[in-house]
Chains A and B, each alone.
Chain A
Amino acid sequence: MTDSLDPGALDSEDLDGHSIDELSDYLDSGRSPRNPDIENSPGCQIALAALTRLRATTWAMLEAEAESDPERDNVWITRVLDNIKREARAGRDIPISHPDPTVELTVTEGSVRGLIRAAGDGTGGAIIGKCVLDGDVTVPGEPIEVNVTASVAWGENLQAIAALMRARILDDLRLHTELNILSVNVMIQDIHTRHSATTKDVQ
């Protein structure tokens, strides 16, 4: 990975006491020596998973573009990393029903955003840019809109990718939450060119 894509250029806001550049360095070190503070933080784990996917499957593509158009892609990558950091935070508590009033079950907004990002990133050639749950997720039954932005590989059928992404996100939300999903809106914001990752690219 080249210095031009160094996430250390991001602001220094913490994520459970850690910043994205610390987490990126931790990944660079192969997560060794083990940092219990990071390993025991759900937010850090969500961010690490997103960073790992970004690096393993897409970073090389974006990096290749950055060489030809560094201004545009550095801005885009910085935005993605910034969004990963922001979205990995716990956020609001989303209720899960239970018949016993002395039992309270919740899933964090951060974990649901991580789920959505994982579903979207897994849709061939696409990278989720931003993920937002619009609506009051803390109130059961409230209509919720899921809005995601994405970057898609050049040559892909955009409508097909967006439809597949919507379906995967909706399936995961139905399995893991009781949210009343009004719609899943996918906005393709960017097209990136294809580049086959080499061993060197992803190191």
Chain B
Amino acid sequence: MSIDLDLSRELTRLVQETEGVTDVYAAGSLGTVISLSAVNAVSDSADDAKVAVARSTERVDIHANICVNSSHSVPVTLRAVSDVIATYLNTVGSAEPAFISVKASRIE
């Protein structure tokens, strides 16, 4: 199992639990995570790893794609999600600087 797949799963869980978030969609570059995991563990399922994690030598890019409940402000929810991600990355002590991108693709 790759480290990034684990990271994606944990971030997906944290984002899903953020107030105002009703769903987490697979982010655009998730294929990177899936292909990495496929090399390391073919049997791993990436269904619960929807937050994309892409690494370069200089930084790690995190991308979350969410649905927001219309009773919650989209800007407030997006900021809360980015805060949750940043806090987790600080907690685990990510070596590279992180670039965090959060997109609301649906408001329901």
Which residues on A are within 8 Å of B, measured CB to CB?
Answer: 40-43, 45-46, 49, 90, 93, 96-98, 100, 102-108, 110-112, 114-115, 118, 172, 175-178
Is the CB of B104 closer than 8 A to any CB of chain A?
A: yes
Complex CA–CA separation, A178 to B79 (angstroms):
13
Partner of B65, one of A42, A46, A178: A42
Write out the residue numbers on chain B whose beta carbons fall within 8 Å of the beta carbon of A115: 70, 107
Which of chain A's residues has its CB closest to B26's CB?
A40
A176 touches B107 (CB 8 A): yes
> A40-B26, A42-B25, A45-B67 in contact; A98/B82 too (CB < 8 A)?
yes
Is the CB of B45 closer than 8 A to any CB of chain A?
A: no
Write out the residue numbers on chain B whose beta carbons fall within 8 Å of the beta carbon of A45: 67, 106, 108
Query: Which segment, of B9-17, B35-43, B94-102, faces chain A?
Result: B94-102
Write out the residue numbers on chain B whose beta carbons fall within 8 Å of the beta carbon of A46: 106
Task: Tell me how far the C-beta of B70 lies from the nearest C-beta in chain A, rounded to whole angstroms.
Answer: 7
Is the CB of B93 closer than 8 A to any CB of chain A?
A: no
Task: Tell me how far the C-beta of A150 lies from the nearest C-beta in chain B, rounded to whole angstroms.
Answer: 20
Complex CA–CA separation, A61 to B7 (angstroms):
51
Task: Tell me how far the C-beta of A117 lies from the nearest C-beta in chain B, rounded to whole angstroms.
Answer: 11
A105 touches B70 (CB 8 A): no
A176 touches B75 (CB 8 A): yes
Complex CA–CA separation, A178 to B104 (angstroms):
13
Task: Tell me how far the C-beta of A163 lies from the nearest C-beta in chain B, rounded to whole angstroms.
Answer: 22
Is the CB of B87 closer than 8 A to any CB of chain A?
A: no
B interface residues, tally (CB under 8 Å) = 25
Write out the residue numbers on chain A whose beta carbons fall within 8 Å of the beta carbon of B101: 103-106
Q: Give the 10 A-B residue pairs with the shortest CB-CB distance, closest first.
A: A42-B105, A176-B74, A105-B78, A42-B106, A107-B104, A104-B101, A96-B75, A103-B82, A103-B100, A106-B103
Partner of B74, one of A41, A93, A103, A107: A107
A111 touches B78 (CB 8 A): no
Task: Tell me how far the C-beta of B90 lies from the nearest C-beta in chain A, rounded to whole angstroms.
Answer: 13
Is the CB of B86 closer than 8 A to any CB of chain A?
A: yes
Write out the residue numbers on chain A whose beta carbons fall within 8 Å of the beta carbon of B18: none
> A106-B103, A106-B104 in contact; A176/B73 too (CB < 8 A)?
yes
Task: Tell me how far the C-beta of B106 lies from the nearest C-beta in chain A, rounded to whole angstroms.
Answer: 4
A102 touches B102 (CB 8 A): no
Which of chain B's residues has its CB closest to A104's CB?
B101
Write out the residue numbers on chain B whose beta carbons fall within 8 Å of the beta carbon of A177: 74-75
Complex CA–CA separation, A175 to B71 (angstroms):
9
Write out the residue numbers on chain A whose beta carbons fall within 8 Å of the beta carbon of B68: 176
Query: Can you sample 17 A-B contacts with CB below 8 Å?
Result: A42-B67, A96-B75, A98-B82, A100-B82, A103-B99, A104-B100, A105-B78, A105-B103, A106-B102, A107-B78, A108-B104, A108-B106, A172-B70, A175-B73, A176-B70, A177-B74, A177-B75
